[in-house]
Amino acid sequence: MSRYEVVWLKREGDLVCRLKDFQSEAEVDLIPALGMNVIRYAVREKGVILPPPSLTALRQTPFRYGIPVLCPPGRTRFGRFTYQGISCQLPLNTGMHNVHGELGTLPWKVISWGAEEGEGACLRACYAYRKDPERFAYFPFDLIYTVAYSLKEGALQLEGCVLNAGDRYAPFSLGYHPYFTCDRSRTSLQLPASLEWPKAPRGVGETLPLATRLAAELHDGADLAGLKESLHYFQCRDNGLERGGAYVCRLHDKGSGRRIHFQVDGLFSVMVLFLPPWGEAVSLEPHTCIPDAYNLPWDASKTGALELAPGEERRFGWRLEVEDREFDEEDRNHESEPN
């Protein structure tokens, strides 16, 4: 029997792709029709991310569960921005503003799937703006996103790229929004924050980031129970074109002994910490820029706003790994028992 398997399931009228790793007892569910959202990731039958209560709930609130993709990440004021003289008007999905764009709500085209010992269980899909006339009308940039989600040795990994297939420069901003299940009263977070963006009435970006006590404490780990605010924006890498290597964020549930290791590419220079009021979870959101980056007066080296030249391709990715002390100790005890 192969260690890995990919199966397709029907759920509430939509097809769900399940990646399976029998040896690690890990499973991942993805739904291409709803933004390629990872709606379930479980290891030894214990959930790692917050699943939607139903696909109906996911359609109504697509950025509240699983691991949705964000493009552009965060709030775009009044849904408008201008890039090189071209005006873009995004749909207003949160009051008078756009939040997180639409890639996390749209159907993606499945390219392939399969299971191999060396590759694990994998699903590949793409989204092209030019193939979507409704979105291309208000975002007339010929960007093509291609992603591959794989489950290997119990770890969930994303490898992706974005290609500018057009003949003019294009704006590029991206984020992800994983909701990690944990008991926040006993969980600590460790991440390599250098600065923190102050929040203002209109969001972030009115002032430049500062060195804060919380940003410093997070290097060694800070208890989430001590946080007074539910939303923080941390600078983890410089916003230049070369953003340094990957970095790791760690969540440690001290009660269960579970540790979640979230490694992200340095392209995601900003890490957002969000404590949702609708679920016992912690969201760590890697962003390539701060929200509303293309409307802010700061230079791109400050905001993180990126652009792609015609024919240019940028790669991105992240990796999730779970360490369970409870199960690991059981395995070691079992291995040490005499025959």
Assign 3-class secondary structure to 152-173: ECCEEEEEEEEEECCCCCEEEC
The pLDDT of residue 326 is 62
Place of tokens 């794989």: 150
Q: CATH no. for residue 39?
A: 2.70.98.10
Say if residues 227 and 189 touch (Cβ distance below 8 Å): no
Output b/e per residue, 148-174; b: 16+ Cβ within 10 A: bbbbbebbbbbbbebbbbbeebbbbbb
Average of per-residue pLDDT across 77-83: 96
Residue 78 CB contacts under 8 Å (≥ 6 apart), including other chains: 92, 96, 97
Q: How many CB atoms lie within 10 A of CB 53?
A: 10
Q: How far is CA 128 from CA 131, 136, 162, in A?
A: 5, 9, 10
The SS3 of residue 57 is: helix
The pLDDT, as a whole number, for residue 327 is 55
Pairwise pLDDT comparison (51 vs 336), residue with the higher score: 51
Q: Please tell me the predicted confidence (pLDDT) of residue 338.
A: 47
Contact 86, 188 (CB under 8 A): no
Counting the structural domains of the chain, the total is 1
Provide the domain limits for residue 93: 4-336
Q: pTM, whole model, 2 decimals? A: 0.94
Which tens digits make up the pLDDT trace of 119-144? 999 999 999 999 999 999 999 999 99
pLDDT in tens, 36-75: 999 999 999 999 999 999 999 999 999 999 999 999 999 9
DSSP string, 91-149: ---BTTBEESBSTTTSPPEEEEEEEETTTEEEEEEEEEGGG-HHHHHHS---EEEEEEE
Q: Would you state the structure tokens that stand for residue 129, as one six-digit string?
A: 């703006």
Report CA torsion sign: 145, 111, 150, 276.
positive
pLDDT tens figures, 167-183? 999 999 999 999 999 99
DSSP-derived 3-state class of residue 55: helix
Q: What is the mean pLDDT of the chain?
A: 94
Are 145 and 162 a contacting pair, CB within 8 Å? yes
Residue 339 has pLDDT above 80, yes or no: no
Per the omega criterion (within 30 degrees of 0), is the bond before 277 cis?
no
Strand-pair category, 313-324 with 258-264: antiparallel
218-242 average pLDDT score: 93
Q: Is residue 332's pLDDT more than 50?
A: no
pLDDT of residue 46: 96
